[in-house]
Amino acid sequence: MSAALSAARCIAAFGVLLLAVEVSAEPPAHPAAMALMARFECHRCHEGTGLAPPPMEKRCVGCHQTLLAGRPLPGGPIAPETLARWQGNLRSLNAAPSLTGSARLRRAWLARFLHTPVDLRPGLPASMPRLTLTTAEAGVLAAHLSPDEPAAEPVFGPGAVMRGRALYLAAGCDACHAFTGAVPRRDGTYARTLGQPHSVVPMADAVALAPDLAVTRARFRPERLADWLHDPPAMKPDTLMPRLGLSSAQAVAVAAFVLNAPLASVPATPAGDRLPLLQRPVPFAEVRDRVFRAVCWHCHSDAVLTHGDGGPGNTGGLGFAGRGLDLSTYISMAKGSRGPDGRRRSIFRPAREAPNMPRIIAHLVARHHEVAGRELPGIRGMPLGLPPVPWEDIQRLDSWIAQGRPR
């Protein structure tokens, strides 16, 4: 009977999975890419994947946006004081770019970015997470998102860069965009327009999603940049980039500036280092509140309480098979994570790849290294795609572990 029930549950789960990956009305142009999108659950964060939206319980950004807007979740009404507290805690994954209009991007850059993401949007706390995509899979996705073959790069006339710089500042591009090494983003109100008022866009989201334009020359198909600047919604209907009122000639000049402006070298961001262990006692409540419940348990949660979905770091998701790691309580984290051999291992013992620190500390340190453009080989940075845990909080956790993990 038990086996029959298990089988029934598997069938039901498979049915749910099929529903979750059901694609929208238009047939997918690239079935292999769509399968990858479904496997890596791109639609949990992004619109415009071509997949049917997942249920709200799986929509990271959609759920946060729903809460921020004060709309009810499927589970029922939320008490106003609870909602206010949650809203105050929502710092990451409140916005994500849609994947529509990706054909304006260079395919090779997309493939690299998908495989080894970099922080592209300075105003967005979260960045594209490092998934388990192979380079081949990243190539398949990139080809799907940007199917056109490369075209000849445009040649700009003399003086275009200088004219473009003036237009760039006049149009107020720097109100939303950083252009590292060329023009910093300025704080202040929305820029004035050249010819007409900007369409009304949510300013905070526009700033959050605005990429650093220093990356544009590697990221954008150069022959399409002027058209993009002239009329962004024509290329990407859901973009928050407004029509700036640039004429075609002005758009070409701004494109010339963005693609060719000299970039001053910017010192690499230091990754920082572990801080010495604290001498004072560190209670569990302190590391729970500062680390585990501030970040970790969103993806490493209790699968039983959550009806089977313990998050990508526990039961799996975003392409991860799941490590069975539940960081929600003192006891649950003591059971460790599931290693590649299927056996449980402590997260507080050193990993083979980082023998001088506890495994969980190594993952937190690795995230600092990732943000600084380096890697800790064999260790995936955590929290996945989110800002690193501050060194002071890592120090707290490090010290608590060294003190024997007192309750």
Partner 1 sequence: MSHRVSIIVAALAALAALAAPPADACGNVVVLEQRRGAAELAWFEAKLERGEVERLRGHFVHIVFADNAQKRRSMTLDRAALMRRGWRPDRISKQLLEELRAAPDDSQVKAWVAESMVRRAGPRRRLDTLFDAGDVASGTLTAALARWEAAALRAYLLASALELLEDLQERDLMPDAYAFATLATVYHRVGNPPARDRAFDRCRLRTEVPALCQLL
- Least distance (Å) between residue 94 CB and partner 1: 13
Report whether 56 contacts 73 (CB < 8 A): yes
Instruction: For partner 1, give the closer residue by CB, 257 or 320.
Output: 320
CB of 120 to partner 1, least distance (A): 25
Rounded to an integer, what distance in angstroms lies between the CA atom of residue 147 and that of residue 129? 23
* Amino acid, res. 102: S
55 or 197: whose CB is closer to partner 1? Answer: 55
Q: What minimum distance in Å lies between the beta carbon of 303 and partner 1? A: 6
**Ramachandran class of 318: left when φ > 0, alpha when ψ lies in -120 to 50, beta otherwise:** left
Q: Toward partner 1, which CB reaches closer, 117 or 350?
A: 350
According to the binding rule CB under 8 A, does residue 7 interact with partner 1? Answer: no
Q: How far is the C-alpha of 113 from the C-alpha of 90, rounded, in Å?
A: 26
Three-class secondary structure of residue 344 per DSSP: strand
Q: Does 328 bind partner 1 (CB under 8 A)?
A: yes
Q: How far apart are CA 292 and CA 288, in angstroms?
A: 5
Q: Which range of residues in 155-163, 175-183, 325-333, 374-382 is near partner 1 by CB under 8 A? A: 325-333
Query: Does 329 sit near partner 1 (CB under 8 A)?
Result: yes
Structure tokens at 137: 């899979």
Stretch that binds partner 1, among 97-105, 167-175, 185-193, 341-349 (CB under 8 A): 341-349
Per CB under 8 A, the list member of 330, 371, 380, 390 interacting with partner 1 is 330
Contact 34, 28 (CB under 8 A): yes
Instruction: Measure the CA–CA gap between 193 and 198, rounded to whole angstroms.
Output: 6
User: Is residue 374 at the binding interface for partner 1, with CB under 8 A as the rule?
Assistant: no
Compute the distance between CA of residue 301 and CA of residue 313 in angstroms, rounded to an integer: 8
Other Cβ atoms closer than 10 A to 200: 8
Binding residue (CB under 8 A) for partner 1 from 222, 311, 381, 388:
311
Minimal distance, residue 130 CB to partner 1, in Å: 20
Q: Residues 251 to 310: which contact partner 1 by CB under 8 A? A: 297-299, 301-310
The residue (of 317 and 383) whose beta carbon lies closer to partner 1 is 317
Q: How far is the CB of 326 from partner 1 (least distance, A)?
A: 6
**For partner 1, which stretch binds (CB under 8 A), given 53-61, 170-178, 259-267, 365-373?**
53-61
Comparing CB distances to partner 1, the nearer of 55 and 195 is 55
Q: Which is nearer to partner 1, 197 or 308 (CB)?
A: 308
Assess contact for 358 and 350: CB atoms under 8 A: yes
Closer to partner 1 by CB, 340 or 404: give it: 404
Specify burial of residue 378 (Cβ count, 10 A radius: 0-12, 13-18, 19+). Answer: exposed
CB 318 within 8 A of CB 44: yes
User: Which 8-state DSSP code applies to residue 104?
Assistant: G
Looking at beta carbons only, is 9 or 91 nearer to partner 1?
9
Residue 311's region, left for phi above 0, alpha for psi from -120 to 50, else beta, is: left
Total site size for partner 1, rule CB under 8 A: 55
Please answer whether residues 264 and 253 qualify as being in contact, where contact means their C-beta atoms are separated by less than 8 angstroms: no
User: Which range touches partner 1 (CB under 8 A), out of 51-59, 121-129, 147-155, 248-256?
Assistant: 51-59
H helices present in 146-247, as ranges: 160-171, 203-209, 216-219, 222-230, 232-235
- Using CB under 8 A, pick the residue from 129, 172, 336, 385 that binds partner 1: 336
Write the binding mask 54 to 93 for partner 1: x where contact by CB under 8 A, - elsewhere: -x-xx-x--x---------xxxx-x---x---x-------
CB 64 within 8 A of CB 93: yes
In the region spanning residues 109 to 168, those forming contacts with partner 1, defined by CB under 8 A, are: none
Residue 293: CB partners within 8 Å, gap ≥ 6?
328
Using CB under 8 A, pick the residue from 344, 373, 378, 392 that binds partner 1: 344
How far apart are CB 87 and partner 1 at their closest, in Å? 13
All residues at 6 or more sequence positions from 210 whose CB lies less than 8 Å from its CB, including other chains: 121, 123, 176, 177, 178, 185, 241
If we measure between CA atoms, which residue out of 224, 84, 204 comes closest to residue 149?
A: 224
| Residues binding partner 1 (CB under 8 A) | 1, 5, 8-9, 12, 44, 55, 57-58, 60, 63, 73-76, 78, 82, 86, 297-299, 301-311, 317, 324, 326, 328-332, 334-336, 338, 342-346, 348-349, 404-407
